[in-house]
Structure 1
Amino acid sequence: MNIYSTSVLFRSLIYKRSNLCCSIRIFSSKNDINKEIDSRIKIQDYDVNKVSKDDLNWRWSVNDENKEYFKSLRLFYTDSNNVEIVKALQTPLDLSFSGIKNWLTRKNKQREISEQTYNPERNEVLGNELAAAHFVVFRGGAVKFHGDDKWIKADEYKNYNLPEYYVRNKYIEAIDCSDTDIYYEGLQNFRDVKHLKWLSLNDCQDIDDWCIDTICAAHYKTLVYLDLRNCRNITERGLTALWKMKKLKLLFLDDVIRSTEFEMTVLLLQEQLPQLEIRVGEFAEDD
């Protein structure tokens, strides 16, 4: 740096310092500062009734602010990501044979749950009824439509005969999910089936009280037959949700004396629904 540039830099610093000193007002005491602030701020009483919709435009939710982020990266993001990462970091690494086997089992379960999540695009193409039929039959279940006595089920090569496009006036009457891996997320695919009368969840090990509540909320107006045998995760809490199913006539259970609470719930359910017949046992004849 030469002498000329040093001189120019020194002059600019002096000029800025002089402007800064002119803009600062020196107060003699703290009271003068408070008086100055009070004179410049106009305090208004807050009234909720005077707040307009435009005054609340600054309120944005996290999802609204990051809408583009969620659109582009939603494929790689789930609400439980942070919890899973923290849990994985706090869990000791188990490289034994049983540890690896359990890890693979959990991963397969997570993948199956993700695949069973409700897919609105599938319903737009096939309609609610056929979309649910494809969902059930593809996973080893069977369906029957109104006006047709034939059950539709996949063969040993997973081939089955179902329309691949929307067909009008085709409604599911019965769904058989016996011995299939149906999770709570998968039941969301049945929520728009409007004329379901017959449902079997026999030997579905992942059906629990939350699943029963979902079924009752979606089909309490139409369901007549319900098979809940070998569903060990269903407790008396799940049975209490059946009281709203006014058309239910036949309920299958494998054991009603597993606990005092369960037995009492069954008795109260029969009292609440006089038309309901509860059959117990593995070898009960289906109607």
Structure 2
Amino acid sequence: MMMFGKISRQLCSLKKIPWSCDSRYFWEWLNTVFNKVDYERLRDVGPDRAASEWLLRCGAKVRYCGHQKWLHDYNTLPGSSIDRYKIQAIDATDSCIMDIGLDHMVGLEHVEKITLCKCHYIEDNCLQRLSQLENLQKSLLELEIIACGNVTDNGIIALRHFRNLKYLFLCDLPGVKDKEYLAQVLKTALPSLDLKLNLK
């Protein structure tokens, strides 16, 4: 794939990395490369195809409208038809998606469910940014945020902007402190929300 050609060239030009602090720096650098938005590619193949490539590259899974099976292997992506495959659900469990890649989601108009589980790079600013995307404000019905250690009350409170959200599951978020207040804010903003909290 063309994207991997670009990544290979970037890998070849890699300078010295401080390996004395283990391989953290390398993986963070590599994950940043995987998240980088190729706006030319986005324009050429459309938002759903470009977002699919980004999500699978980062270890997430996608499910398309009208399909039951989840797609998780980058090499089995369907043909690049712009109109045929629309992302309906995203499972980002154990993926490396991060803030700089979120522009991939700007044009997605059919996403009804997102699962963010053990996403180490998901922070408050990511949730705040996602909640400001008009397309997701309209389409998103279900959201699960589980074991994302960098999420705090500030990120959760931003979720009130998902005006059509019907189901929200929050679990194992040590950075979230005032669950009663958050529940009150979310239920006031979204009266029909089914809110499930499993916070310590």
TM-score range, shorter chain: 0.7 to 0.9
Q: Which runs of 5+ in 2 are unaligned?
A: 1-9, 11-17
- Partners of 1:162 and 1:129 in 2: how far apart? 12
Moved more, 271-280 or 196-205: 271-280
- Partners of 1:255 and 1:263 in 2: how far apart? 15
Residue 93 of structure 2 aligns with an amino acid whose one-letter code is S
Tell me the matched-pair count.
181
Question: What is the TM-score normalised by the length of structure 2?
Answer: 0.80
Task: Tell me if 1:181 matches 2:96.
Answer: yes
Question: What is the TM-score normalised by the length of structure 1?
Answer: 0.57
Structure number having the greater helix percentage: 1
Aligned to 1:192: 107
Alpha carbon RMSD of aligned pairs, Å? 2.4
Cα pair distance change 1:265/1:123, threshold 3 Å: same
- Partners of 1:220 and 1:187 in 2: how far apart? 15
Checking the alignment, whether the CA contact within 8 Å between 1:255 and 1:281 is kept in structure 2 is yes
Cα pair distance change 1:252/1:161, threshold 3 Å: same
1:116 Cα offset (Å): 1.1
**SS of structure 1 residue aligned to 2:88:** strand
- Partners of 1:185 and 1:256 in 2: how far apart? 22
Checking the alignment, whether the CA contact within 8 Å between 2:149 and 2:173 is kept in structure 1 is no
- Partners of 1:198 and 1:249 in 2: how far apart? 10
Aligned to 2:64: 145
1:259 Cα offset (Å): 5.8
Task: Tell me if 1:125 matches 2:44.
Answer: yes
1:189 Cα offset (Å): 1.3
- Partners of 1:256 and 1:100 in 2: how far apart? 31
The structure with the larger Rg is 1
Structure number with greater CO (CA < 8 Å, separation at least 6) is: 2
Aligned to 1:172: 87
Aligned to 1:222: 139
Aligned to 2:78: 162
Checking the alignment, whether the CA contact within 8 Å between 2:35 and 2:58 is kept in structure 1 is no
Aligned to 1:106: 25
- Partners of 1:205 and 1:256 in 2: how far apart? 12
